[in-house]
Structure 1
């Protein structure tokens, strides 16, 4: 009997869904059938199949939940009720708020619109090359929703589902490491109340999605440590690894060591009298299938990146902005300390930043050097306010780091897992630069560390010393309060206060990050629509918001008049009926002919092609 079979079933279902979603997009794109009709047919067929095979499970799940609730102790009911209330509040926010994440406005969502418009996921000319080079796994799922519904009303539910899934994974890993029901609930409580988790669960970012796939790799690998992996489990493990690669490459910093552990565990499953050659004959084909699944899911995308930028990791400037260029011990140490301080920052601000900067100078490292710091940023950065791009996790982060350190030191069933966690952390701080919004990028590491914190905390609560148990309970309560505060008053989507989803219009919500831009965008879009323009050219900067144009000019053909892709020149300006310009290099006047009579308001310029 597998550990936590219901949770395992849900994890497997998620992997089947995610893998099918990615492969279907690539397949339909390749044969020219990526459209609303084919996607709808596929979903109807999938719903029929899922309903047929899942009907017994659906019938039995509610009595099981009822029985578990009756058996639960009061504190267990409190934890479940709290998590249910937080994610229910997130559901309300997710449904009431349109996508308004900054990165989503620039590159996550515009590429979904390009794919839907052209009926394929092939690359296209653009100056915002993050639309092309950044891994598209999460956006492939959004594309399904876009084609099914014709809009973005359900987009936020993808990350919400990933948030719920990661909470289940955290609790299941705790069980796999030997934790009882209380430890499992503590794991769910720790991860489910992290402010960043609750804020991202209502957004169209991708960090919870990648955490979901990395966590799936982890929990599936733990299942295989003491048995020879059957082929169905191999396929699921391959799907989890493939989804990790096609969603965000940084996830491999954790998934890679986990797969190495799986491979080593399989080699140890050597029956008496069997030679190592026989064992390898069993293990190597399974490893090849996992690698093949990864190639199947991410290969088409990586090939497009390779042929466009001559590197499967994208253009040089994009790689250089994220990846560490120095790997000497001093630089890695300072990078790790900055990442840790930013993650653990309290409302008192970056208190330890001065000491970190002082240490950096003492050992010959510039703490703001571009080769270890994201470009155009400086350390430190205030990360405590509940903002989805930066919010810290001082309580939960401390519990995770201490718990992972304690269990690495102790001889316990969790020791190997703790070692893998620390290897993943070391890989991350060695390979990824510090950046102000780095707290969201480490969500997959936080998920992996949460079960270790839960096991340690469970031991403290069981201690005979009431003071220790009481302090631990207070820490958990403090973390939960931070999560509740983030849901209630977080930014840019909140329940109460200025900008509440209950009192702010959909249009204002879309521009809540840059309210001054809303009027300008609407003014220009109205003028272009009134002109009767059908084909509209875009002139933009690297961080320009492109997505609002797709909303305001729904039905128009939008094309970029700039291109950073050498093999894909942009169309000429005389091939469009109108131009929309927002902060491109060198200014709008250098791109638009004076005869087009450009008009400017605030940050936006529009121009209509003169009639001949």
Structure 2
């Protein structure tokens, strides 16, 4: 009997769903059938099939929930209610707030509109090459929602589903490592109340999605300890690894060592065929899921990881021990920062200079960034996790001394941490990039802290309970007054206009975008060209302008030249290189307001 079979069923279903969603996108794109009628028809058939197959499974869910509640003690019920209430608050925000994440406005969501407009996921001309080179796994799932609903009203639910699933996975891993029911609930609580998780669960970022797939790899690998892996389980492992690669390659820093552990376990059992053929199946599944996208990137940029300037902006260029040490210390300080601010930053900078490392050097620091950076305010791009982070690090250290699978798992966690600080530069928004490590680490924190919650010395038990309460309150604060989506205060989802909410990070742009869009719509222009900078927002144009016939008049891809400006009816421009006047003929009579310019082609 597998550990936590209901949770395992949900995890397997999630991997199957993600794989099917990706393969369908690639297949329909190749056939020229990537359009709304076809996707609706396929989902209708899938819904009927799943409804028939899953009816008896769902029938048994309610009794299990009732049995859980009846057997839970007061502490367990408090934890369950607190976690459920927090996710309910996130659900309200996710449904009421439109997508307004900064990166999503620039490259996560515009790519979906281009795919819909051209009926395929082939590359297209753009100056924002992150739309092409950044892994699209999460966006493939959003594409299904876009074609099914015709809009973005349900986009935020993808990350919310990943957050809830991440809590379930954390609890199951705790069970697989020997944790009792209370430890499992604590694991879910620590993950679910981490401020960066709470904030990302209402956004269209991708960090929770990649954490979901990494967590799926981890819990599926743990199932294979002590047995010859069945072939269907091998296929699921490969699919989860492929989804990790397709969503964000950094996830492989954890998924890779976990897969090596699985291979070693099969070899230890002398399951040579399972180890060899299973590895081939895993690689084949990864190629099936991520191969088409990686091939497009390789043929466009001569590297499957994208253009050089993107790779170098994120990855470490120095790997000497001194540079890695300073990188690790900066990442840890930024993640553990309290409301008191970057308290230890001066010491880290002093140490860096003492050992000959420039803490702001471009080869170990994201371009244009300066350390330190204030990370505590509950903002989805940077919020720290002092309580949860400390519990994870202590638990991961303590469990290194515990015999059994927990020790191996803790070792793999530290290996993934080491790989991250060796390969990924410090950056101001780095706290969201380690969400997959947070998910892997929360079971270790739970296994360490749970026995102390019932420790015979009440002072110790109260201290541990107090830490969980403080961590939960930080998560509640993130949902209540976090940014850029919050329940109360200025900018509340209950009191802010939907379009104002979209521009809540740049309200000045909101006024200018709407002014230009109103003029272009009034002119009757349908084929509109876009001129923009590398970090400006393209997505609002797809919302504000009538129709979906928008094209980029710039391109960073030599083999994908943009159309000439004479081919469009109008142009909208936001701060491109060389300025709008450089690109728009004077005869078009360009009009400028703030950062935005528009022009109508003379008739």
Distance 1:355 1:366, change over 3 A: same
Counterpart position of 2:388: 396
Aligned residue-pair number: 603
Q: Is the 8 A contact 2:316 2:364 kept in 1?
A: yes
Structure 1: 5+ residue stretches without partners: 271-278
Kindly provide the CA deviation profile for residues 308-342 of structure 1, in whole angstroms up to 9, marking residues without a partner as x: 11111100100010000000000000000000000
**Structure 1 residues 207-356: aligned runs within 5 Å:** 207-270=207-270, 279-356=271-348
Counterpart position of 1:275: none
Q: Is the 8 A contact 1:536 1:556 kept in 2?
A: no
Counterpart position of 1:85: 85
Following superposition, the deviation at residue 412 of structure 1 comes to 4.1
After TM superposition, the runs of 4+ consecutive aligned structure 1 residues lying more than 6 A away are none
Kindly provide the CA deviation profile for residues 201-253 of structure 1, in whole angstroms up to 9, marking residues without a partner as x: 00000000000000000000000011000011111111100100000000000
Kindly provide the CA deviation profile for residues 526-563 of structure 1, in whole angstroms up to 9, marking residues without a partner as x: 10111111110000000010000000014141000000
Moved more, 281-290 or 563-572: 281-290
Q: Is the 8 A contact 2:213 2:243 kept in 1?
A: yes
2:419 matches 1:427: yes
Partner SS, residue 530 of structure 2? strand
2:19 matches 1:27: no
Kindly provide the CA deviation profile for residues 108-158 of structure 1, in whole angstroms up to 9, marking residues without a partner as x: 000000001100000000000000000000000000000000000000000
Q: Is the 8 A contact 2:333 2:342 kept in 1?
A: yes
**Structure 1 residues 177-192: aligned runs within 5 Å:** 177-192=177-192
**Structure 1 residues 529-568: aligned runs within 5 Å:** 529-568=521-560
2:49 matches 1:45: no
Partner SS, residue 545 of structure 1? coil
2:132 matches 1:128: no
2:581 matches 1:594: no
Distance of 2:514 and 2:117 partners within structure 1: 22
Following superposition, the deviation at residue 465 of structure 1 comes to 1.7
Structure 2: 5+ residue stretches without partners: none
Following superposition, the deviation at residue 466 of structure 1 comes to 1.5
Q: Is the 8 A contact 2:266 2:272 kept in 1?
A: no
Distance of 1:172 and 1:139 partners within structure 2: 27
Q: TM-score with structure 2 length normalisation?
A: 0.99
Distance of 2:332 and 2:168 partners within structure 1: 26
Counterpart position of 1:575: 567
2:199 matches 1:199: yes
Partner SS, residue 599 of structure 2? strand
Partner SS, residue 376 of structure 2? coil
Following superposition, the deviation at residue 469 of structure 1 comes to 1.1
Distance of 2:578 and 2:331 partners within structure 1: 35
Distance of 1:50 and 1:16 partners within structure 2: 12
Distance of 1:281 and 1:480 partners within structure 2: 47
Could you say what the CA RMSD is over the residues aligned between the two structures, in angstroms? 0.7
Kindly provide the CA deviation profile for residues 156-185 of structure 1, in whole angstroms up to 9, marking residues without a partner as x: 000000000000000000000000001001
Q: Is the 8 A contact 2:229 2:274 kept in 1?
A: no
2:141 matches 1:146: no
Q: TM-score with structure 1 length normalisation?
A: 0.98
Partner SS, residue 403 of structure 2? coil
Partner SS, residue 550 of structure 2? strand
Partner SS, residue 537 of structure 1? strand
Distance of 1:105 and 1:155 partners within structure 2: 13
